[in-house]
Amino acid sequence: MKSRLYAAALAVLACLSCSEKETPSGNDPVVRLVSVGATSLVLPPGDSADLPFWVEDKDASFGEVKLLLTGGKEPAECYVKGIVPGDAEGSYRAVIQDAGLGENYEREVHLAIVQRDPDTGNEFYIQSPAIRILSEVDPAGTVKTGLPIIYVQTQDGMAIKSKTEYVTAELQVRGVEGLPGLDPAACLIRGRGNTTWEWPKKPYLIKFDQKQSLFGMPAHKRWVLLANFMDRSLMRNLVSMKVASMTALDWTPGCVPVELVLNGKHQGSYLLIEQVRVDDDRVDIAEMTPEDNTGDAVTGGYLLELDFHYDNRYQWTDPHGHNGQWGNGIPFGVKYPDEEDLTKQQLAYIKKYVSDAANTLYGQDFQDPEQGWRAFLDEDSFIDYWIVFEVMGNHELGNPGSVFMHKDRGGKLVAGPCWDFDWGVLSYNTSPQARTGLINGKAIWYERLMEDPAFKARLKARFQELLPQLETIPDYMDECEKLLTASARLNFVLWNPAEDASMNGGYIINGDENMSFHDAVARLKNNYRERLTVIPRNL
């Protein structure tokens, strides 16, 4: 099966590599310049992939074409199996074959066209620019990036085509030092996401038959594989969860970068993350039954999602508050109790609670410490939640999208957990105002909360309290960069994040999609440092 070429930018430069003593002469046309159509190529074990190339001297004839290392030797791991003429004059395809040695490798090679001097008969080479040839998966199914590997094998190799229909599968984990593996375990798998499901690299939801602990995280049936397709740094979600874990939010999903091998084919770099679910080890609130319809029982627990996609079965729009993208009014949806268990009484209760909270917040006496908004909202959580979104430059709090709140039995409405930090995070593309100001000062209920001097004072104090920890994040980014470098090499041979422009009017979303991995990380780090200086100036 042929591997995809990663060709975000066509390699049109070429280098001439002729012997100093042996130069061409005579009138017969010879190849003097060769260019190639990719800078990287991934070879599956024992298989081949095509490398397009062009010669400038279209009438020139040539014989042997080979791969050469920088020192002039041929690599042992791969070779040119054959040459196929292209559709245009002077265009060809070199069939690059894995030699089947059964080992992982990465080689920098040149496509070399053998030429012969018509006067002397001496051979010389015309070489292309350097190309990285990488092995994808060895015969044992391993990917050599230093990350743990998740293998998913669906029944009969069935493709995963739906976000609603599960496919029967088996999942196995090959761990690394400090991150234990998992023997094959029965599971179901389906697609997930809204915009992310429409892109070539798909995110997935895993549902085990029995609770499983992955990489030391608490056992649970449900886990998510985030594709991070649009994220050239591969660390926006990872870093955001780290920032959230520094706060006092009730729970932040644990996550680990992994490689995914689906039905024997490497899919690239993924983030395994705990799904947002009500559970003792996740969103720890009272678990409700259909009988909890009166008294204290009906007061919780509830998990709510605020999302402009309106993809929850039970949802409504509260007219209070500010939704920056869609106007006034905030979309609320019930994630828990599950839609098949939620009763009319429970839905009526939580809708009224949200309405009462909003009415009070936008009422005349909203600042009253006893009867005002603090009677309905947990102040500390709303402060920490806002700080995470603001520090990470995530405008989704104002859409809103993937914004969560929860309410325990007898308790107030609590902000969190954090989820889905890839679209526009630490990017001036989506939030140009971030260079000099706040992103979420008017998001959902925060515009009104900011009008309470006591709330704003506590917010400013809390930011300063968290600042020493927040200032360690660039060092954490450095650690992530080292961890993900090898994974990024393979991932971006397989996938081109600039294709996210297809969902954004033809414009790339984060602004780093066409950068190198290391340049994207440097940009992310610089933007983060700027956020730490801009935010306190605007509070």
Q: What is the pLDDT of residues 148-207, one digit of tens each?
A: 999 999 999 999 999 999 999 999 999 999 999 999 999 999 999 988 899 999 999 999
- Confidence (pLDDT) at 100: 74
Residue 317's DSSP bridge partners are: 331
Contact (CB, 8 A) for 192 and 161: no
From the centroid of its chain, how far is CA 139? 28
pLDDT given for residue 19 in this prediction: 33
* Alpha carbon separation from 369 to 250, 448, 452, 461, 500 (Å, rounded): 23, 15, 10, 18, 46
Tens of pLDDT, residue by residue over 62-107, are: 778 999 998 888 888 899 999 998 888 888 999 999 887 767 788 8
Q: What is the pLDDT of residue 320?
A: 84
pLDDT at 207: 98
CATH of domain 5-135: 2.60.40
Q: What is the pLDDT of residue 4?
A: 29
Q: Among 108-112, 148-152, 308-312, which stretch is predicted with the lowest mean pLDDT?
A: 308-312
pLDDT in tens, 246-298: 999 999 999 999 999 999 888 999 999 999 999 999 999 999 999 999 999 99
Contact of 133 with 109, CB cutoff 8 Å: yes
Instruction: Return the HEC string of 411-450.
Output: CCEEECCCCCCCCCCCCCCCCHHHHCCCCCCCCECHHHHC
CA distances from 157 to 46, 75, 165, 178, 185 (A): 20, 34, 15, 31, 16
| Comparison of pLDDT for 241 and 6, the residue scoring more | 241
**Are the CB atoms for 484 and 269 separated by under 8 Å?**
yes
- Residues 6 or more apart whose CB falls under 8 angstroms from that of 374 comprise none
Q: Which of 7-21, 117-131, 203-217, 354-368 has the lowest mean pLDDT?
A: 7-21
Please give the Cα distance from 225 to 203 (Å, whole number).
6
- For residues 390 and 172, what is the distance between their CA atoms, to the nearest angstrom? 37
Task: Provide mean pLDDT across the span 30-48.
Answer: 84
Q: What is the distance between the alpha carbons of residues 353 and 376, in angstroms, rounded to a whole number?
A: 8
Token pair belonging to 420: 């889905």
CA gap 136, 9 in Å, rounded? 21
Task: Tell me how far apart the alpha carbons of residues 46 and 264 are, in angstroms, rounded to a whole number.
Answer: 14
pTM comes to 0.80
- Checking if the pLDDT of 376 tops 50, the result is yes
Question: Which residues in the chain are classed under CATH 2.60.40?
Answer: 5-135
78: CB partners within 8 A, 6+ apart: 43, 67, 96, 97, 98, 99, 107, 109, 133
- Per-residue model confidence as pLDDT tens digits over 315-348: 999 988 765 454 568 999 999 999 999 999 999 9
Q: What is the mean pLDDT of the chain?
A: 89
253 DSSP 8-state letter: -
- Asked if residue 14 has pLDDT above 50, the reply is no
Percent of the chain with pLDDT over 70: 91
pLDDT at 10 over 50: no
Question: Angle of helix 236-245 relative to helix 379-391, nearest 10 degrees?
Answer: 150
Contact 194, 419 (CB under 8 A): no
Report cis status (omega within 30 of 0) of the bond before 400.
yes
Say if residues 110 and 94 touch (Cβ distance below 8 Å): no
Read off the pLDDT of residues 111-143 as tens digits, 9 standing for 90 and up.
Answer: 998 877 777 777 788 889 999 898 876 545 567
532 with 464: CB under 8 angstroms? no
Q: Would you place residue 7 in the very low, low, confident or very high pLDDT band (cuts 50, 70, 90)?
A: very low
Q: Are 269 and 234 in contact (CB under 8 A)?
A: yes
C-alpha distances in Å from residue 353, one per residue of 184, 249, 332, 356, 377 = 45, 21, 12, 5, 10
Determine the pLDDT at residue 28.
Answer: 56
What one-character DSSP code corresponds to residue 155? Answer: G
Taking the CA atoms of the chain, what radius of gyration do you get in angstroms?
A: 28
Cβ neighbors of 14 (< 8 A, separation 6 or more) are 33, 34, 35, 36, 56, 128, 129
The pLDDT of residue 219 is 98
- Give the C-alpha distances (Å, rounded to integers) separating 504 from 183, 358, 423: 41, 33, 11
CA angle, residues 421, 425, 428, in degrees to nearest 5: 165
pLDDT tens track for 443-460: 999 999 999 999 999 999
SS3 68: strand
Q: How far is CA 227 from the centre of its chain?
A: 5
